[in-house]
Structures are given as structure tokens and as C-alpha cells.
Structure 1
Amino acid sequence: MPRYMISALVVACAMFMEQLDATVIATSLPAIALDLNEDPISLKLAMTSYLVSLAIFIPVSGWVADRFGAKNVFRAAVLVFTLGSIFCGLSRNLPELVGARIIQGLGGALMTPVGRLVLMRSVERRDLVRALSFVTIPALLGPIAGPLLGGFITTYFHWRCIFWINVPIGALGMALATFYIDNVKPDAIWPLDFRGFFLSGAGLAAMLFGLATAGRGLAPVELSLALTAIGALTLAAYAAHARRAPFPLLDLKLFSLRTFRASVLGGALFRVGIGSIPFLLPLMLQMSFGMNPFQSGSITFISSAGAMAMKGTAPHILRRFGFRWVLIVNALLSGVFLAAYGLFWPSTPILLMMGLFLVGGFIHSLEFTSLNAIVFAEIGHERMSQAVSLASVGQQLSLSLGIAAGAAALQGIAALHPGADVFAAENFRWAFLIMGLVSMSSALSFMRLPPDAGADIAGRGATQTDEIEAAGE
């Protein structure tokens, strides 16, 4: 196996550990609350504290990697995340669990962006799509496998095992990173933007907390809206600061690049729609169709097989059709499949559901891989760390907004029928349709890309293109 593929697998395993932990705790909250003698609603602070920690430290991840070296920071991030997992497993009360989750968030905030940065700087551009196809899978598997694994472990073992399984994975990740990841860093390092760090961290923390609690019973609606508004205003203040700062923490000038702008802004619409799936789908299968958590997880987990099948075909698809057409067509197809999930009824054959989840997993994964690759098409090595940090912020915000938007769509449709059951199958039909249209709208942004966007990454150089056309392919 090529060295760059081993590096990609190391990063993918670390990202899977982070994505899995971000969702697995949701299924186990009632059992954790009972064991710690806490109210389940109060215990959800363990989820939001993780998001807040993530939001504060993601923007500074690029600077830290440049200052201390990508490999050093990646290993340290895996270690911090693993230690946070150990502390979670040892927690005896709510304050200890919340504190441990904050430590996990610090590790996760550095682990995911820096892991992606490692690949950007160590993988040849022609191999980038193949490497990223492995790294993209955790983003899809985590939200799907989390509830399934969390329900299984909590039911048949103990909730503390959820966190203990991270220990051997983290130890293996640190060992492999030592041998297979290069400690790349630039020759020149810009000064840390302390004011930008405060504004971006405070703004993202407030906005993510507000979005994470909106429509999920974690906080009063007024508080969620207020926090979201405060976060937006603080981020606007950061934008004003970034225009004047000589070395902004998050360089907003990157949005002048067409491929970066399309991937982050257009990709945000796609992620908002797809980000609603981990919220809407389990609710529909459990609350409307009467399945238990393990049953619903066993059905939806088949989409991971589709995601795995994508990793070997993505480079060939992109080389044949190019980024522009793949992003446009795939966004439309993804929206259609997302809307189709709302057409399920309790009487729908399980095999039909699983077949659509399988194909949907392939399509969603292909779009994520394409977005994660083309975002760096016009980025030089000197701006790579800033690009990774800013792209990671956009991804985290859009996925969090996806859950809030899915909840808002479901509750909004239910409000049109006062007195009716919120979890009626008819409400899910319209909610999935709305979120499918949101994902499809991202195609408008991708249409503005030039036909040769990301040609060198897709392996569609002039010579290759001529050969393909000559062969009549």
C-alpha cells in the first residue's frame, strides 16, 4: 500500500473516532443520566459543551499546526482526545463529564482539521481525490454508526465502554502517525491573531450552541435564538476585523477563489440538507414507524456500505466527468434521494428502504469527497493551513445548521396541523422534501464553476482530456 494511503487511513481512523463520539452519546443519555443520578435534559450539556469547545479551537488549528508541526499537533490532538475519553469513562457526576467533553472537544478541534492539513501537504495533487475518499467516509459513518453502536453497547454492556473503546484506537493512531505522517510545516509563520481568536471563538461558540439547542429541547427557544443572533453579530465583527488585520486568523479573502467559494458556500447548502438526516431519519423510524434504536440503526447502517463502495470509484468518476458536472448532477441526485426518504411508510418493505439507503450513501459520499478535494484546487502551500481552518469552520456550522433546519422543518409542518402528532409520517414526508430541496439548491453555486475547475486534482490534464476525446469516451 502506498505511504500516502496509510497516512490517509490514519487520519480517517482519527476522524471516525471523533465523529463517532460526537453522535454516540445521544443514544446513551438516558442510561448515563440514570447512572449519574441526573436529569436527562441537564445531561445534554455534555453534548453542547463538546460543540462549544470544538467551535472555540477549530479556527486556531491551522496556526498551531504551522507553529509546532502538523505531525506533532496531530499526535497531541489524538492524545488529548483519548485522555478526554478516559476522563469521560471515569466521570462520577455531571460537572466531571462536561469537563471531560470539553477536553475531548479541544482534541477533536485540532485532530480533524490538522489531519486534513497533513494530507494536503503530503499527498501529490494527482492522488488527492483517492486519499480524500478514505477521509470522507468517517463524516458519513459517524452519525450513522453512532446511534447503532451506542444503543448496542448501552443495552448489552455499559455506557462507559462507549468511551473506553477510543483508548486502543487512539494509541494505535498515535503509533502509526509517528511512523507514517511527516512533520510538515512552512518556513515562515505569521503572528497569532489574538483579537481574531477571541471574536471567532466567541462567535462560533455562541452560534453553534444556539443551533445545537434549537428545536431539540436542550434550552428555551428564546435562549437558542439569542445565542444564535449574538454569535452572528460577533462573527460579523470578526469579518470587519479580518479586513484590517495584516494576518487574520481566518483569511476571508480566500472566498475570492471560485473553487474555494463554491466548495464552502455552495457546499454549506448541501451539508445543511444532508446534515438533517441523522436527526430526521432515526426519529421517523422510531417515533413514527415504531422501531427501537437498534432496529433503525441496523437498517440505516447499510448506507455505510455505499460510502465504502465510493472510495474506489470516485477518482475514476471525477477523471471522466470533471468536478463541475459531478458536483451539479450529484447535488441534484442527493436531493432527490433525501426527499425520497420521506415517501417511506411503516408498510414499506425493509429491503426497499435499505436499497435506497445504500445508493444514497454512495451518492452523498461522492459529493463530500468532491467538495473536500476541490476546495483546495487553487490553494498554494503557504495558505493551506488557513484554508483548512476556514473550510472546517464552514463544515461544522453547516452540519450543525442541518440538524436545526431539520427540526425546524418538522415542527413547522406540524404547526400547520394543530393537535396532530408531530411525528406523523406525513410531517416527515414534507420535512424530507424541504431538506432535499435545500441540498439541491447547492447546484446553482456549482454551475458557476468553469468546466476545467480542479482539472489537475481530478487527473484531467490537457493531454489526458485529448486522449479521452480521441478514444471517443
Structure 2
Amino acid sequence: MIIGCALFMELLDSTAVLTALAQIAEDFGESSVHMNLVVSLYLLAVAMFIPISGWLAERHGPRRVFVLAILLFMASSLACAASSSLLQLSLARFCQGMAGAMMVPVGQVILLRWTRKADLLRAMAFLTMPALLGPVVGPPLGGLLVTCLSWHWIFLINLPIGLLGILLILRHIPDYPGRQRQPLDLAGFLSSSLALACLVLAFESIGHGSLEWFWSCALLASGLLSGALYLRHARRRPSPLLDLSLLNIATFGIVLKGGMLFRLGSASLPFLLVLLFQVGFGLSALEAGLLTFAGGVGALLIKFISVPLVRRFGFRRILVCNAFLAGASIAVCALLREDSSALSIVLVLFAGGLSRSLQMSSMGALTYADIDTCQASKASTLSAMSVQLSMSLAVGIAALLLGLIQRLRAHETPSVGDIGLAMVLVSLLCMASGLCFRRLAGDSGTAVSR
């Protein structure tokens, strides 16, 4: 829970800031179009520095790197709040992204070293909670802070959370020493960082329409080319920065691929729900945020029964069957209408939160079921990279599908029916992930579900 709180701080900040962009633009005298730089630079920094996070944890010790990452996040949050221009805010957000890139994989390294295999499922159940609650709590909390106080408090709220996290880490988490004296693979770092940065920015620009198609395609091509160069480089090194040979471990490789497919569908839901509630139903940002909070409640409650469920049915059956249920819960959202009762909306979102949270917890534990402690840092880096790419690509896919539906139906703005059809299509991605999980052996993950 200590590590999860630090991750929650990062995810809360990254979603809450979206609600403040309009007020920040007004205070700085900038066009709202230019404010996309605040989001893009954060994503750029996260993508650039994820590849090096595992190496830093092994070199200097995970607890030390994790504490330094929180300190950098706090300092950059203070710099964000003190910014008086778009340039200052953008640079501070880039530093926030650097810190955020270290938190997720390094936090997982600590968890893998600290937790016995038999307790990994329970630990992952609580570690994945921030990934589900952050995007849900962030928008309504951000709207509340902006409305009642000012946009500065979106960043200042990180200071007490970060300070508490550091105190708890220093008190309760062992100081595992650095074990690796291998020099940094600089060529691998540069090529992998460039590939991730270009791909994430390409997907982000496609999803939000922040760049013309030519530049989005140029970023995509650059990312693919840099990725190909990294693959060529990695084959020639005995110990590459991103060790793709880990994909040969059955549980790790299957869950990583199936998890990416599942997140392509599930991570697009918040984007589509915002459009449905605000554009389709005409609700305010705060009203829409309070409705989506029901999904967060469901995500929280399932954590207390996820371990008995996996022990009863096994990882393979849970992941295969629940992939279909999670996809169905997204498709059911397409049936919601403006005259739907608040209770029916809450129940649908609550059920969806239960299903997606169970899937995330199960995938998180099974990912590392057959990973040795000495492989933890490289495995967590590779996992964080796949999550970052799939989360970025998810919004791009949802936006592309919605735009295509609008053009086919000759609608200038998306209607409730257009958004609903897009939800049905992305739900198929969640269901398709079940085909990947079917390749798991029946006894997969027994070491972490006893």
C-alpha cells in the first residue's frame, strides 16, 4: 500500500491536470491549443526515461531511486504551482514525467524483492488499485480544486502525499543494495527512448488531433524505425537494456501480449465516457466525474475477494472468462441514454469496475509468477513500457474509430449513438485478449496463488 500510494499520487496528478488546462491558459494568456504542450511533454518524459529505470534500480538500489523519484516529483510539482508562464510550466511537467517514469517500474522491483511468491497476488491486488482509481478520482478532484481554490492546488496537493510516502518508505521498506555494476547501454537507451517517445507522441496526437496527420505519421514512422534499430542493437549485446528474451518465459510473454490487447480496450473507456456524459448527455465535468467514480468503488471492493477467486478458479480460467465479462461491461455502456437513471448508470459502471480491477490484479501477479528476483528490474521495465504504449495507443484507437463512425454517418459532432458504437468496437479488443490467455497452462501461477 505504501508503494501504491506513491503511484496513486502520480496517476492522480496526470489526470487531474486535464481539468485545469482551461483556467491555466486563461491565467497565462495563452491559447487553449498551446496547453496541449503541458500534457505532451509529460508523456514524452515518461516514455524517454522508462527504459533506464530498471538499470538505475539495480545500480543504486530500488529504495534509494524510489525515494529520489518522489522527491523529484514533489520538487517539480512545486515548480508547476510556482510557474508564471507556459514555458516554465512545460519544463516543470517534463521533470514530473522523469520522476513518474521511475516510480512505476522501481516500485514493482521493490515489491518483487520484498514479497514472497505466495503473497504476490494479494500485493498486486493493492498495487494495481492506483491505476484504476487515479483516472477515476483525478477529474472530479481536479474540478473541485479548480472551482473552489485554484489550479495551483492540483500540484500542491502532491507535497503532503509525497512527504508521507517518503517517511513510510524509509520506515518500513528495506534498503536493498544495488547489485549490478554493468555500465549503461547508452546506444540502447537512446534508441529505445527515441522509439518510445515518438510512438507515444504519435498515438497521443492521433487521439487528440493535436498535430496534422503528416506529423503524426512522421512520428509513428520515426518510432518504428528507432524500434527496429534497437532490436538490431539488442541482438548483438549479451545484456541489453530492454531484455526481450524475457518474452520467452511463457507466463510473462503471454500476459504481456494479452494485457496490451486488454488495455487497448479498457483504457479507452474513460475517454469515451467523458464524451458520452459531457458531449452526449450535456453533464458538467464534475457531474460526469462523480458518475464515473462508481467504477472506482467497484475496483476497490473486488480487491478483497480477488485472491479467493483466483485460488478457486485459477489464473487461466479467470483471465479468459473475465476478459469476456470486462468487454461485455464496456459494450453495455453503449446502451446508456440521456434519460437513463443515475442508479442504472452507477450500477453499470460499478460492475465494470469490478471486472476490470480483477483482470488487472490477476495479470499483475501472473506477469511475475515465473520471474526470478535477479530478473525483476528488467521485467518491470519491460512491463511498464508495454503499459505506457498500450495506454497511449488506446485513446488513439478510440478517437480514430469515433472519427470514422462520424464520417460514415455524416455527423459533425459525435452523437450518443456514435460514441456507443465506438464502445462496442473497443469492447471487442478486451474480449479478444481472452484468446491470448487461453494459451496459458492450466496450472499457471500456482506459485503465487497458493
TM above 0.5, yes or no, is yes
1:168 is matched with which residue: 160, 171, 186? Answer: 160
Between the aligned partners of 2:177 and 2:197, the Cα distance in structure 1 is: 28
CA deviations on 1:61-91 (whole Å, 9 max, x unpaired) are 0110011111100000000011111000001
Between the aligned partners of 1:224 and 1:133, the Cα distance in structure 2 is: 36
**Pairing 1:34-53 to 2, within 5 Å after superposition:** 34-53=26-45
Say if 1:132 and 1:372, in contact at 8 Å, map to a contact too.
Answer: yes
Deviation of 1:300 after TM superposition, in Å, equals 0.6
2:64 is matched with which residue: 72, 86, 94? Answer: 72
Q: Which residue of 1 aligns with 2:133?
A: 141
Asked whether 1:270 is paired with 2:275, we answer no
Q: Which residue of 2 aligns with 1:438?
A: 429
Between the aligned partners of 1:323 and 1:393, the Cα distance in structure 2 is: 23
1:398 is matched with which residue: 390, 396, 412? Answer: 390
| Aligned-partner residue type, residue 456 of structure 1 | A
CA deviations on 1:407-444 (whole Å, 9 max, x unpaired) are 111111111012x2432011011100010001111011
Asked whether 1:294 is paired with 2:282, we answer no
Identity over aligned pairs, percent:
39
5+ long unaligned stretches in structure 2: none
Q: Which residue of 1 aligns with 2:406?
A: 414
Say if 1:65 and 1:185, in contact at 8 Å, map to a contact too.
Answer: no
Between the aligned partners of 1:271 and 1:289, the Cα distance in structure 2 is: 26
The runs of 4+ residues in structure 1 deviating greater than 4 Å are: none
CA deviations on 1:274-304 (whole Å, 9 max, x unpaired) are 1101211011100010100000101110111
Q: How many residues align?
A: 450
Deviation of 1:187 after TM superposition, in Å, equals 3.7
Deviation of 1:112 after TM superposition, in Å, equals 1.3
Say if 2:40 and 2:201, in contact at 8 Å, map to a contact too.
Answer: yes
Between the aligned partners of 1:144 and 1:410, the Cα distance in structure 2 is: 22
**Pairing 1:34-183 to 2, within 5 Å after superposition:** 34-183=26-175
Between the aligned partners of 1:106 and 1:28, the Cα distance in structure 2 is: 21
**Pairing 1:177-256 to 2, within 5 Å after superposition:** 177-185=169-177, 187-256=179-248
1:23 is matched with which residue: 15, 25, 49? Answer: 15
Between the aligned partners of 1:150 and 1:117, the Cα distance in structure 2 is: 30
Between the aligned partners of 1:339 and 1:190, the Cα distance in structure 2 is: 49
Say if 2:298 and 2:351, in contact at 8 Å, map to a contact too.
Answer: yes
2:357 partner SS: helix
**Pairing 1:260-409 to 2, within 5 Å after superposition:** 260-409=252-401
Question: What is the TM-score with the length of structure 1 in the denominator?
Answer: 0.94
| Aligned-partner residue type, residue 96 of structure 2 | Q
| Aligned-partner residue type, residue 433 of structure 1 | V
Say if 1:215 and 1:221, in contact at 8 Å, map to a contact too.
Answer: no
CA deviations on 1:20-64 (whole Å, 9 max, x unpaired) are 111111111111100111111101101000000001111110110
Say if 1:208 and 1:400, in contact at 8 Å, map to a contact too.
Answer: yes
Say if 2:59 and 2:179, in contact at 8 Å, map to a contact too.
Answer: no
Q: CA RMSD in A?
A: 1.0
Say if 2:60 and 2:178, in contact at 8 Å, map to a contact too.
Answer: no
Between the aligned partners of 1:346 and 1:83, the Cα distance in structure 2 is: 43
Between the aligned partners of 1:320 and 1:422, the Cα distance in structure 2 is: 47
Deviation of 1:366 after TM superposition, in Å, equals 0.6
Say if 2:59 and 2:180, in contact at 8 Å, map to a contact too.
Answer: no
Between the aligned partners of 1:287 and 1:108, the Cα distance in structure 2 is: 31
Say if 1:186 and 1:382, in contact at 8 Å, map to a contact too.
Answer: no
Q: Which residue of 1 aligns with 2:415?
A: 424
Deviation of 1:190 after TM superposition, in Å, equals 3.0
Deviation of 1:217 after TM superposition, in Å, equals 2.8
Between the aligned partners of 1:231 and 1:422, the Cα distance in structure 2 is: 31
Asked whether 1:455 is paired with 2:446, we answer yes
Quick one: structure 1 residues 168 and 320, their matched pair in 2 at CA, closer, same or farther if it must change by over 3 Å? same
| Aligned-partner residue type, residue 132 of structure 1 | M
Question: What is the TM-score with the length of structure 2 in the denominator?
Answer: 0.98
Q: Which residue of 2 aligns with 1:5?
A: none
Deviation of 1:188 after TM superposition, in Å, equals 4.0
